[in-house]
Structure 1
């Protein structure tokens, strides 16, 4: 595998990324990786070094080994890419993804008619929205298909409350005494109201800056409506141990997606596509992510990806 460091322009900013190809590669289909939320770079790592997850580097390596050309890039304002991450909205990230598609279409090794968008977490929403601007040849939606941001955040808070209510001893008594669930819900509702009433890209809540534009555009966007417009083949996969995306939302897809669809809920797979056998516990989420960072992608996930891609692009595998 050869990794080429590339750059492309989007909305006046230079975005940088990595294009992975096999040696002596001929013109082939390409896969564009759209990452999840947060300021993680093209590999899936944060700037401070606390979360060295490498999830997108692992995905790129696996997909390239199958014979595909794979592009992953630092999102706007992250890593080596220009722009300001905090002031960017959801549609800014979608337009950046469309610019990445244009880069691939112009690359001499890429079959411009066969470009697949692979979205992970928030990237599943971006991939669906991208399809309204650039018709893709396929969509792969990992850890988040068929779910609005507001639904995901509501479930995440619920899982936090469940975990807190299961805390034992004096700490558990204190949690229940101070009605943390009710107080936190009140704060969350007040924050969302402030965000929706604002017209600023960034607002301050206490000492913290919030990317209000990003929240507003996500909360106003109905991904389910754009899922109805998809005509290309779709593969959607979520793990049953996912604490950030609800795997049950996969069951919405057959009634929404009119085109060819395959969807799977993988047993003992977490949000970062790794094997996770422990019970779901939102309070241990970050600890588990760091613990599993060096683990390979879930074997069943790789199997589904390979079979789905082989079915549609069998000449790549020959």
Structure 2
């Protein structure tokens, strides 16, 4: 496997890593990896070391071993890419994915007819928006799909609040005495109203914390389902049943909208980072659990499904090493 640092240019310079399986063939299929929400870098790690998943590097290695050239990149204001992450909107992210896709089309070793796009988490929403602009050969949606950001955030909040309500002993009594649930609902409603009324890239919460208002406004306005109707390529969507950040049941919406063939799978004991997770979901400790599982490989069942699907799409060439 060969890795090469590359730069692509959107409204700002983005840096990424191009991974080759080798350079013995004339042409290769390619895969673009679109990352999820937040400031994780091209490898799936927080540049400050606070959260390391290794997921995007693992995916790049996995697909490179299947014979793909892969491209993963740092988002604006993350890692070695220029720009400000806090000022980056939904459509800026789509623009950046588009220039990354364009870059793959310029590479002489890549077969432009077999370029696939993989979106993880928020990337599963960005991928249909990208396809609506520039169709590609196949779409892989991991840890998300068929669900708008607002739905996902509301569910995450609800699960967190339900877990709080189930607290026992003095903590449970304190939550009730202080009306924590009711206050949270009120604060969230006020925040959403403030975001919708804003016209700046970010707003300040409690006079201090910066929140990416432009990003949220554009997500709220985006019609995911209209773009899903435009998707004519094959789609593979996989989410784990231990993934509290994405709702696996929403994958069932995809065949209602997507025009191409759709394969959907819910994997038992798989979390949002695509790793095996045997414990009950604990919303309050999810980051600790992600870190504890970081060095695990991608869930074995997910690997089987991914290999089988891409092999089928490429008529056995990838799966059988031809």
- TM-score calculated relative to the size of structure 2: 0.97
Deviates more, 1:207-216 or 1:25-34: 25-34
Structure 2: segments with no counterpart, 5+ residues: none
Give 1:24-103 correspondences, 5 Å limit: 24-26=23-25, 27-103=27-103
Could you tell me which residue of structure 2 aligns to residue 289 of structure 1?
290
Counterpart Cα distance in 2 of 1:277 and 1:176: 31
Counterpart Cα distance in 2 of 1:296 and 1:166: 33
Could you tell me which residue of structure 2 aligns to residue 14 of structure 1?
13
Native 8 Å contact 2:31 2:118 kept in 1: yes
Could you tell me which residue of structure 2 aligns to residue 300 of structure 1?
301
In the TM superposition, residue 2 of structure 1 has moved relative to its aligned partner by 0.6
In the TM superposition, residue 24 of structure 1 has moved relative to its aligned partner by 2.6
> Per the alignment, in what secondary structure is the counterpart of residue 287 of structure 2?
helix
Could you tell me which residue of structure 2 aligns to residue 119 of structure 1?
119
Native 8 Å contact 2:233 2:259 kept in 1: no
> Per the alignment, in what secondary structure is the counterpart of residue 43 of structure 2?
coil
Give 1:194-205 correspondences, 5 Å limit: 194-205=194-205
In the TM superposition, residue 4 of structure 1 has moved relative to its aligned partner by 0.6
> Per the alignment, in what secondary structure is the counterpart of residue 113 of structure 1?
strand
In the TM superposition, residue 315 of structure 1 has moved relative to its aligned partner by 2.1
> Per the alignment, in what secondary structure is the counterpart of residue 129 of structure 1?
helix
In the TM superposition, residue 272 of structure 1 has moved relative to its aligned partner by 0.5
> Per the alignment, in what secondary structure is the counterpart of residue 82 of structure 2?
coil
Native 8 Å contact 2:164 2:172 kept in 1: yes
Counterpart Cα distance in 1 of 2:240 and 2:226: 24
Native 8 Å contact 1:25 1:109 kept in 2: no
Deviations 1:9-41, CA, capped at 9 Å, x for gaps: 112x11100011112342111000000000110
Could you tell me which residue of structure 2 aligns to residue 273 of structure 1?
274
- TM-score calculated relative to the size of structure 1: 0.98
Native 8 Å contact 1:243 1:285 kept in 2: no
Quick check: 1:161 aligned with 2:161? yes
How many aligned residue pairs are there? Answer: 317
Rate the CA distance shift 1:277–1:126 in 2: closer, same or farther, 3 A: same
Could you tell me which residue of structure 1 aligns to residue 210 of structure 2?
209
Counterpart Cα distance in 1 of 2:135 and 2:245: 28
Counterpart Cα distance in 2 of 1:190 and 1:296: 41
> Per the alignment, in what secondary structure is the counterpart of residue 315 of structure 1?
coil
Structure 1: segments with no counterpart, 5+ residues: none
In the TM superposition, residue 133 of structure 1 has moved relative to its aligned partner by 1.2
Could you tell me which residue of structure 2 aligns to residue 171 of structure 1?
171
Counterpart Cα distance in 2 of 1:24 and 1:100: 21
